[in-house]
A and B are shown apart, each in its own frame.
Chain A
Amino acid sequence: MADLRRTVAIVGVAESDEIGRVEKSNLQLHAEAAYNALEDAGLTMKDVNGLMTAGTSTINLGEYLGVQPMFTDTTAVGGSSFIIHIAHAMAAINAGYCDTILVTHGEAGRSARSRPGANASDPGPQYEIPYGFIGAPINYAMAARRYMHIYGDDYTRQGMAEVAVATRKWANLNPKAYMQGQEMSFDDYHDSRWISWPFHLFDCCLVTDAGGAYVVTTAERARNLPKKPVYVLGAGEGHDHGILSQMPDLTRTWARNSGPAAMKMAGVTHNDIDLAMIYDSFTYTVLATLESLGFCGPGEAPDFVKDQRTAPGGNFAMNTSGGGLSYTHSGMYGMFLVLEAVRQLRGETGERQIDNPKLSLVHGTGGSLSSTGTVILGVD
């Protein structure tokens, strides 16, 4: 691959006007976030000549926003899509399709008045959905059960609890977090109701309404905009199955490939990473991802996160927004990982700001642990 390090930067990020329970349509959430992200970037819609999203087609989105782009990409592989879009934006800008790309997300996960139906000819509606394999909690719970079988029930459970409790502590430092002001003890975690055994309620992400957007442009243009450029240093992506029962190994995600690819391109190692933004659809997703990315070995993640190592004040800064578990999760959460990484690298996160971060690894997981996207973002 050509060396595209530092050729593009993220120059604007934003959520929709409000997140949580806001009772607006998906496209309105896209539009608010788009407007806010362009304002953050010091740009206007007239500057946008590339458009990307997932979950709806860019033809609907472009029309709604009034954008007529010269580059369009609706890569939709679940919640990781918005991480992968960063790499595709970098490729498109370097190929000369366009110079300023708007990437948006909007999903009324909590309030939507209709939901997309399944396509009967896909495998899920024939071979999984009739058995009640419906929704991520049920699918991911079975992967977690397999991990528990291999590495031990109590050991795994403690790791899941550590992630839930640590992430809630970060949410309590984020004024936008849905769970702001609601503390969680280990007892609260263990006492929370079952959703799909082995998942408690507090193993599962939130279901919120939220929009988010970011703007990618050339490094040259970025240096002339008001905010500190956050450069794209490396990227990796891919997938190894669609439906859960086709997953080659329930304890290893494609992060095993997208992570090393992104770090190799960036020329960085695990020890260089100041902030890990790890998609936390479920507590288990974090454990499997940390191992697959190589932050620790197979079966070691519960040890890796123990004693609240990932909480505020711990020595491994992770999911400082409060994550999908406690900040927001509208359905495809990857967008919000990017927003937090950019804000931390710019030094804009107030009470939860970590000490002078230079490098963030941002990692999304989509589908039924199906797809992953990893990027390395950095500032001077």
Chain B
Amino acid sequence: MTSDYKKPIPVPQFESDHYWQKAKEKELWLRKCNACSKVYFYPRDISPCCFSRDTTWVQASGKATLFTYGIVQRAPHPGFVPDVPFVTAMVELEEGPIMATNIVMDDPTPEKLQVGMALEVVFEDITDTIALPKFKPA
């Protein structure tokens, strides 16, 4: 955690405070629709599957598989210049939903990144209150 963190920092909203508070405790929590039992991402109080208000929070296992990725060679923002090349990815969580993230890896290449490979969550502290859930090969 450093005060010279130069990348965009998420601003938690009322409906996502719990997600970000738990992430700071190194836990990944998701929203679940009790009407149909679907776990969905990102957190919304009213489910997008059933438009139900009967929703709850569940803790994710942190296990996921790689759904797709890109290897960024040209930084899209000054804060990412020291990171290139870095991996942007969509991962499929064990509970079902897909989320955007980074794969934490030195010198990424297509050979090291196989769609379907097993991953596990790690948390990167970026400020005193925010940690970003990221993934690494399991």
Contacts and interface: CB of A to CB of B under 8 A. Distances in A.
A binds B: yes
B42 A123 contact: yes
Interface stretch (A192-200, A220-228, A303-311, A321-329): A192-200
Contacts of A141: 70, 88
Contact of B68 (A132, A135, A149): A149
Interface in A112-133: 118, 120-121, 123, 125-133
Given A125-B11, A126-B13, A149-B115, A245 B100 contact: yes
Given A141-B88, A245-B90, 12 more contacts: A125-B11, A129-B8, A131-B102, A132-B72, A132-B77, A137-B74, A141-B70, A149-B68, A196-B73, A198-B70, A244-B90, A244-B100
B29 interface: no
Contacts of A143: 68
Interface in B92-138: 98-102, 110, 115, 126, 132, 134
Contacts of B89: 142
Contacts of B76: 132, 134-135, 137-138
B10 A126 contact: yes
Interface residues of A, number: 34
A194 B70 CA distance: 11
A243 B100 contact: yes
Interface in B2-27: 7-13, 16
A145 interface: yes
Contacts of B126: 130
B13 A134 contact: no
Contacts of A43: none
A130 B9 contact: yes
A270 interface: no
A196 B80 contact: no
A132 B83 contact: yes
Q: Which 6 A-B pairs have the closest CB atoms?
A: A141-B70, A134-B76, A197-B71, A146-B68, A245-B100, A120-B11
A379 interface: no
Interface string A132-165: 1111011001110110010000000000000000
Interface residues of B, number: 38
Contacts, number: 106
A250 interface: yes
A147 B74 CA distance: 22
B38 to A, nearest CB: 14
24 contacts: A121-B13, A126-B10, A130-B8, A131-B100, A131-B134, A132-B7, A132-B86, A132-B102, A133-B100, A134-B76, A137-B74, A138-B70, A138-B88, A141-B88, A142-B89, A145-B68, A146-B68, A146-B115, A195-B73, A196-B73, A197-B70, A197-B73, A198-B70, A199-B70
Contacts of B8: 118, 125, 129-130, 134
Given A196-B74, A244-B100, A127 B42 contact: yes
Given A127-B42, A142-B88, A195-B73, A250 B7 contact: no
Contacts of A194: 71, 73-74
Contacts of B86: 132
Interface string A249-287: 010000000000000000000000000000000000000
A121 B88 CA distance: 22
A101 to B, nearest CB: 34
Nearest to B16: A126
A120 B12 CA distance: 8
Nearest to B67: A146
B70 A126 contact: no
Nearest to A122: B13
Among A123, A133, A146, A193, chain B packs the most CB atoms within 10 A around the CB of: A133
